Protein backbone atom coordinates (compact mmCIF):
# COMPACT_ATOMS: atom_id res chain seq x y z
CA UNK A 1 0.00 0.00 0.00
CA UNK A 2 1.32 3.43 -0.93
CA UNK A 3 1.84 6.10 1.67
CA UNK A 4 -0.60 8.99 1.80
CA UNK A 5 2.48 11.16 1.14
CA UNK A 6 3.04 9.50 -2.23
CA UNK A 7 2.23 11.77 -5.19
CA UNK A 8 -0.06 9.20 -6.79
CA UNK A 9 -2.09 9.03 -3.56
CA UNK A 10 -2.36 12.82 -3.56
CA UNK A 11 -3.54 12.81 -7.19
CA UNK A 12 -6.06 10.01 -6.59
CA UNK A 13 -7.53 11.63 -3.48
CA UNK A 14 -7.60 15.01 -5.23
CA UNK A 15 -9.59 13.56 -8.13
CA UNK A 16 -11.92 11.67 -5.78
CA UNK A 17 -12.62 14.74 -3.63
CA UNK A 18 -13.14 16.91 -6.71
CA UNK A 19 -15.65 14.41 -8.09
CA UNK A 20 -17.41 14.21 -4.71
CA UNK A 21 -17.57 18.01 -4.39
CA UNK A 22 -18.99 18.36 -7.89
CA UNK A 23 -21.55 15.67 -7.13
CA UNK A 24 -22.60 17.53 -3.97
CA UNK A 25 -23.05 20.86 -5.76
CA UNK A 26 -24.97 19.29 -8.63
CA UNK A 27 -27.27 17.44 -6.21
CA UNK A 28 -27.74 20.71 -4.28
CA UNK A 29 -28.55 22.54 -7.50
CA UNK A 30 -30.72 20.02 -9.30
CA UNK A 31 -31.98 17.91 -6.40
CA UNK A 32 -32.65 20.64 -3.84
CA UNK A 33 -33.05 23.63 -6.19
CA UNK A 34 -30.23 25.63 -4.56
CA UNK A 35 -29.39 27.87 -7.50
CA UNK A 36 -25.74 28.94 -7.75
CA UNK A 37 -24.60 32.52 -8.09
CA UNK A 38 -21.94 33.46 -10.68
CA UNK A 39 -19.14 33.04 -8.12
CA UNK A 40 -20.43 29.58 -7.25
CA UNK A 41 -20.17 28.64 -10.91
CA UNK A 42 -16.61 29.99 -11.13
CA UNK A 43 -15.67 27.96 -8.06
CA UNK A 44 -16.60 24.75 -9.88
CA UNK A 45 -13.99 25.24 -12.60
CA UNK A 46 -10.93 24.29 -10.49
CA UNK A 47 -12.73 21.13 -9.39
CA UNK A 48 -13.16 20.07 -13.01
CA UNK A 49 -9.46 20.81 -13.58
CA UNK A 50 -8.42 18.78 -10.51
CA UNK A 51 -10.61 15.90 -11.67
CA UNK A 52 -9.01 15.87 -15.13
CA UNK A 53 -5.44 16.24 -13.85
CA UNK A 54 -6.01 13.58 -11.20
CA UNK A 55 -7.44 11.12 -13.70
CA UNK A 56 -4.64 11.76 -16.19
CA UNK A 57 -2.12 11.32 -13.38
CA UNK A 58 -3.62 7.93 -12.61
CA UNK A 59 -2.71 6.72 -16.07
CA UNK A 60 0.54 8.58 -16.72
CA UNK A 61 2.20 9.36 -13.42
CA UNK A 62 5.63 7.78 -13.76
CA UNK A 63 8.33 10.40 -14.04
CA UNK A 64 5.92 13.32 -13.73
CA UNK A 65 5.20 13.34 -10.01
CA UNK A 66 6.69 16.80 -9.38
CA UNK A 67 4.89 18.41 -12.32
CA UNK A 68 1.53 16.85 -11.54
CA UNK A 69 1.81 17.62 -7.84
CA UNK A 70 2.69 21.25 -8.61
CA UNK A 71 -0.16 21.46 -11.11
CA UNK A 72 -2.66 20.10 -8.60
CA UNK A 73 -1.33 22.45 -5.93
CA UNK A 74 -1.75 25.38 -8.32
CA UNK A 75 -5.34 24.46 -9.08
CA UNK A 76 -6.12 23.96 -5.37
CA UNK A 77 -4.56 27.40 -4.71
CA UNK A 78 -6.82 28.96 -7.36
CA UNK A 79 -9.80 27.22 -5.76
CA UNK A 80 -8.74 28.56 -2.35
CA UNK A 81 -8.50 32.11 -3.73
CA UNK A 82 -11.92 31.87 -5.41
CA UNK A 83 -13.46 30.46 -2.22
CA UNK A 84 -11.85 33.19 -0.14
CA UNK A 85 -13.07 35.89 -2.50
CA UNK A 86 -16.59 34.46 -2.44
CA UNK A 87 -16.52 34.17 1.36
CA UNK A 88 -15.45 37.84 1.49
CA UNK A 89 -18.39 38.80 -0.72
CA UNK A 90 -20.72 36.83 1.57
CA UNK A 91 -19.24 38.59 4.61
CA UNK A 92 -19.73 41.99 2.97
CA UNK A 93 -16.00 42.77 2.81
CA UNK A 94 -16.21 43.55 -0.92
CA UNK A 95 -18.56 43.15 -3.86
CA UNK A 96 -18.46 41.19 -7.07
CA UNK A 97 -19.54 43.24 -10.11
CA UNK A 98 -21.26 40.33 -11.89
CA UNK A 99 -23.56 39.95 -8.88
CA UNK A 100 -24.53 43.60 -8.69
CA UNK A 101 -28.03 44.42 -9.73
CA UNK A 102 -28.55 46.72 -12.66
CA UNK A 103 -29.69 50.24 -11.89
CA UNK A 104 -30.82 50.71 -15.47
CA UNK A 105 -34.53 51.29 -15.82
CA UNK A 106 -36.85 49.73 -18.35
CA UNK A 107 -38.72 51.77 -20.94
CA UNK A 108 -41.40 49.18 -21.55
CA UNK A 109 -43.00 46.10 -20.03
CA UNK A 110 -41.14 43.91 -22.53
CA UNK A 111 -37.79 45.41 -21.46
CA UNK A 112 -38.69 44.96 -17.80
CA UNK A 113 -39.62 41.33 -18.43
CA UNK A 114 -36.33 40.76 -20.26
CA UNK A 115 -34.39 42.35 -17.37
CA UNK A 116 -36.17 40.13 -14.83
CA UNK A 117 -35.40 36.99 -16.85
CA UNK A 118 -31.72 37.94 -17.08
CA UNK A 119 -31.40 38.76 -13.38
CA UNK A 120 -29.12 36.66 -11.21
CA UNK A 121 -31.28 34.11 -9.39
CA UNK A 122 -29.05 33.86 -6.34
CA UNK A 123 -27.14 36.88 -5.04
CA UNK A 124 -23.46 36.28 -4.32
CA UNK A 125 -23.60 37.98 -0.94
CA UNK A 126 -26.13 35.61 0.61
CA UNK A 127 -25.25 31.92 1.01
CA UNK A 128 -27.94 29.59 -0.27
CA UNK A 129 -27.03 26.96 2.33
CA UNK A 130 -25.19 26.81 5.66
CA UNK A 131 -23.86 23.70 7.37
CA UNK A 132 -22.60 24.24 10.92
CA UNK A 133 -22.40 27.95 10.10
CA UNK A 134 -20.26 27.40 7.01
CA UNK A 135 -21.36 28.36 3.52
CA UNK A 136 -20.33 26.33 0.49
CA UNK A 137 -17.69 29.01 -0.21
CA UNK A 138 -16.31 28.50 3.31
CA UNK A 139 -16.31 24.74 2.83
CA UNK A 140 -14.49 25.22 -0.49
CA UNK A 141 -11.82 27.24 1.33
CA UNK A 142 -11.38 24.55 3.97
CA UNK A 143 -11.13 21.72 1.42
CA UNK A 144 -8.89 23.66 -0.95
CA UNK A 145 -6.63 24.84 1.87
CA UNK A 146 -6.31 21.33 3.26
CA UNK A 147 -5.51 19.88 -0.17
CA UNK A 148 -3.00 22.65 -0.88
CA UNK A 149 -1.33 22.00 2.49
CA UNK A 150 -1.20 18.27 1.81
CA UNK A 151 0.26 18.99 -1.62
CA UNK A 152 3.00 21.12 -0.09
CA UNK A 153 3.83 18.27 2.27
CA UNK A 154 3.93 15.77 -0.60
CA UNK A 155 6.03 18.11 -2.75
CA UNK A 156 8.50 18.68 0.08
CA UNK A 157 8.84 14.92 0.39
CA UNK A 158 9.42 14.56 -3.37
CA UNK A 159 12.13 17.24 -3.30
CA UNK A 160 13.92 15.73 -0.32
CA UNK A 161 13.63 12.10 -1.45
CA UNK A 162 16.59 10.54 -3.17
CA UNK A 163 15.98 9.81 -6.85
CA UNK A 164 14.81 6.26 -7.42
CA UNK A 165 14.25 4.22 -10.52
CA UNK A 166 10.84 2.95 -11.57
- What structural domains and CATH numbers belong to the chain? 7-160 (1.20.1550)
Q: For 52-65, write each residue's pLDDT tens digit.
A: 998 888 777 667 78
Phi, then psi, of 99 in degrees rounded to 5: -95, -5
pLDDT of residue 85 exceeding 50: yes
Q: Say if residue 42's pLDDT is above 90.
A: yes
Buried b (16+ CB within 10 A) or exposed e, 64-98: ebeebbebbbebbbbbbebbbbbbebbeeeeebee
CA 61 centroid distance within chain: 23
Mean pLDDT across the chain: 84
Going by pLDDT thresholds of 50, 70 and 90, the confidence category of residue 50 is very high
Q: Is the model's pLDDT at 41 over the cut of 60?
A: yes
What are the pLDDT digits (tens) for 96-116?
Answer: 777 765 456 667 788 777 776
Reported as a single tens digit per residue, the pLDDT across 112-160 is: 777 767 665 577 888 877 889 899 999 999 999 999 999 999 888 877 6
- For residue 119, the model assigns a pLDDT of 62
With H, G, I as helix, E, B as strand and everything else as coil, classify residue 162: coil
Query: Which pLDDT does position 166 carry in this prediction?
Result: 44
In angstroms, the Cα distances linking 17 to 5, 54, 94 are: 16, 10, 29
Amino acid sequence: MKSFLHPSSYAAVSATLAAAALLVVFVAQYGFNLQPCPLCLYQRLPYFAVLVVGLVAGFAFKGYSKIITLLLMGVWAISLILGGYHAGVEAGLWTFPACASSSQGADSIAELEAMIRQATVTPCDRPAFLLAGLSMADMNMVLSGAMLGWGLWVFKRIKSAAPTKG
